[in-house]
């Protein structure tokens, strides 16, 4: 089992033993133990640049490309180059549950951040948008530690983490204050980094363990009425309009409301994903963490998509300078529509119909709320939204309480005096 994980991680290098769990896996893999009982060593992922400071501001695409070009290019697993058959030296060691542990490896903060991001991409398989957000948060944290004279992650203290959390809320000359939800995400990223550093032998203690993310305010999902949704869809344009961008806009908004898809799921959709739409009105959506789910597509959305794919998309694809994009929703230059571009389409339609404070997630919230109002089972709504836990979906039941009150007031003979 350990060998398969090592192979998937890419090129590996011999490294002294770290945790008890990995010690057991190494022993099971046949790596010898010295006479003292402590394991010879475990295999550590090697990127070739692990001790070099990472370049700040690098995007996920460049980061992932670097992984593919380097340690993750499918190189064979490296074998240990040395074995230790004598007694373990006592200098720099501390007692552990399975024997002595070597002192933490000295790695710069930027180097530790790069290794943690590599772990999130390769082993955790987190969504690209999540990794990009974590990278921004952690690069800012690395700069914060550098300003306080911390050259390595092992030098950070609980006070550093707590003051970083406070600095996110207050902002500074270079950064505006962040919302509670954004601060919570950054603290989660920092906590994950320190926990990873302990597991990976980069630090002896976890200073972020006691620093909790701020509690987010309890806000109900914002949904709009069915009449408001219809006005918004009409404001996007008609399926009979000859303008390909109008056809695209109407198809996008119909798709968002008709499936409850996240904006990233809609913009990430490819034409091949809709090949079967005529005979089977359902679509396979890829959500957070690469999780996939089938979602039915309503007749209105199917009609709008058909009009766009037949008469609108070919015109937009013809404007592409490079190779044609496989994306369903294209921008005016023939490339894949971005999340920001899709948000702009919705915003423009909202302005035309006089709707205020409408976002792509508003369509998703409305999708779920209207299903529950229509009598759908909460477990079905959970599956359609792609929620891992039904507890996440239950927040929509609170929204429908107003609907229940209206029905109760109108139907019960003693509801009002």
Catalytic residue status for 23 = no
218 is catalytic: no
What is the distance between the alpha carbons of residues 188 and 183, in angstroms, rounded to a whole number?
Answer: 9
Q: Is 361 helix (H, G, I), strand (E, B) or coil?
A: helix
- Partnered with residue 274 across adjacent β-strands are none
319 given a catalytic annotation: no
245 tagged catalytic: no
Q: Environment class of residue 125 by beta-carbon count within 10 Å: exposed (0-12), middle (13-18) or buried (19+)?
A: exposed
Helix (H) or strand (E) holding 25: helix 20-28
262 catalytic residue (yes or no)? yes
| Contact present, 20 and 95 (Cβ < 8 Å) | no
14 by DSSP, 3-state: which? Answer: strand
DSSP output for 300-356: HHHHHHHHIIIIIHHHHHTT-SSSPP-BSSB-TTSSBPPHHHHHHHHHHHHHHHT--
CB under 8 Å to 87, separation ≥6 — which residues? 34, 35, 36
Q: How many Å apart are CA 371 and CA 357, to the nearest integer? A: 22
Quickly tell me which residue has 């302990």 as its tokens. Answer: 198
**Annotated catalytic, 303?**
no
- Residues 84, 148, 303, 361: which is the catalytic one? 361
Active-site hit among 58, 150, 199, 288: 288
Which candidate in 23, 262, 313, 365 is catalytic?
262
Question: Of 115, 364, 365, 370, which one is the catalytic site residue?
Answer: 364
| CA distances for 118 relative to 5, 64, 182, 315, angstroms | 14, 8, 22, 40
Active-site option among 46, 119, 308, 396: 396
Give the active site residues: 262, 288, 361, 364, 387, 396
């Amino acid at each position: 089992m350990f060998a398969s994980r090592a192979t998937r991680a890419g090129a590996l290098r011999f490294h002294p033993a770290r945790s008890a769990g990995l010690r057991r896996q190494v022993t099971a893999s046949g790596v010898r133990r010295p006479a003292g009982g402590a394991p010879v060593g475990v295999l550590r992922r090697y990127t070739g640049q692990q001790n070099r400071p990472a370049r700040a501001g690098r995007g996920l695409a460049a980061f992932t490309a670097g992984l593919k070009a380097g340690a993750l290019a499918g190189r064979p697993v490296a074998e240990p180059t040395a074995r230790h058959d004598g007694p373990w030296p006592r200098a720099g060691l501390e007692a552990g549950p399975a024997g002595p542990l070597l002192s933490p490896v000295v790695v710069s903060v930027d180097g530790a951040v790069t290794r943690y991001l590599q772990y999130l991409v390769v082993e955790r398989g987190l969504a690209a948008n999540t990794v990009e957000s974590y990278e921004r948060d952690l690069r800012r944290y690395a700069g914060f530690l550098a300003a306080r004279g911390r050259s390595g992650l092992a030098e950070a203290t609980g006070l550093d983490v707590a003051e970083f959390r406070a600095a996110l809320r207050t902002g500074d000359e270079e950064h505006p204050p962040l919302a509670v939800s954004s601060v919570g995400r950054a603290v989660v990223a920092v906590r994950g980094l320190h926990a990873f550093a302990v597991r990976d032998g980069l630090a002896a203690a976890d200073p972020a363990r006691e620093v909790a993310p701020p509690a987010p305010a309890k806000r109900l999902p914002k949904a709009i009425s069915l009449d408001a949704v219809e006005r918004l869809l009409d404001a996007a344009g008609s399926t009979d309009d000859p303008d390909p961008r109008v056809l695209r806009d109407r198809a996008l908004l119909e798709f968002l409301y008709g499936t409850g898809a996240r904006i990233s799921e809609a913009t990430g959709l490819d034409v091949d994903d809709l090949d079967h739409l005529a005979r089977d009105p359902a679509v396979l959506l890829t959500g957070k963490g690469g999780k996939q789910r089938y979602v039915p597509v309503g007749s209105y959305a199917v009609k709008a998509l058909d009009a766009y794919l037949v008469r609108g998309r070919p015109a937009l694809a013809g404007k592409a300078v490079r190779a044609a994009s496989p994306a369903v929703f294209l921008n005016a230059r023939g490339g894949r529509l971005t999340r920001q571009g899709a948000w702009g389409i919705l915003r423009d339609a909202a302005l035309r119909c006089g709707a205020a404070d409408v976002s792509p997630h508003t369509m998703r919230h409305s999708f779920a709320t209207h299903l529950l109002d229509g009598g759908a089972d909460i477990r079905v709504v959970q599956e359609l939204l792609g929620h891992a836990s039904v507890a996440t979906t239950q927040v929509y039941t609170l929204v429908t309480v107003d609907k229940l009150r209206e029905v109760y007031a109108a139907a019960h003979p003693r509801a009002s005096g």
